[in-house]
Amino acid sequence: MTEDQIDIFYELEIADGKADELRSIAQQMVAANQAAEPGTLVYNVYISEDEKLLTFWETHANNDAMQFHSERFAGGSFVGQILDRTQSARLCLYGAVSDAMKVWAKDHGFEVEYATRIAGFTR
């Protein structure tokens, strides 16, 4: 991870009976983001074994790439599809998140936990 990269951990509680629908939506989201977001370096979606949690693990090259992704997500059709099938969420951003991104998240109704990297490496 470089100094500019931002990691996102977004965990959502799946509504009863919605796991299969979310699998399909996630596959579509991954394809769309892979094609249109060169600054999104990692974009993985996981579902827990008990099908109660949907987790997005993302790495963006920098704040600009993260904001680009966030605006596409908030302005696109996927956000409604995801939120209609989930009940609660935990959103964490790791790295040197810009003040502009923090304002954007707050203005768009996201409650975010922020953490700044103090040490580490990526191989």
Supply the pLDDT for residue 1: 59
Q: Domain-by-domain residue ranges, the chain?
A: 6-115
Three-state secondary structure string covering the chain: CCCCCEEEEEEEEECCCCHHHHHHHHHHHHHHHHHHCCCEEEEEEEECCCCCEEEEEEEECCHHHHHHHHHHHHHCCHHHHHHCCEEEEEEEEECCCCHHHHHHHHHCCCCEEEECCCCCCCC
Q: Does domain 6-115 have CATH number 3.30.70.100?
A: yes
pLDDT in tens, 46-99: 999 999 999 999 999 999 999 999 999 989 999 999 999 999 999 999 999 999
The whole model's pTM is what? 0.92
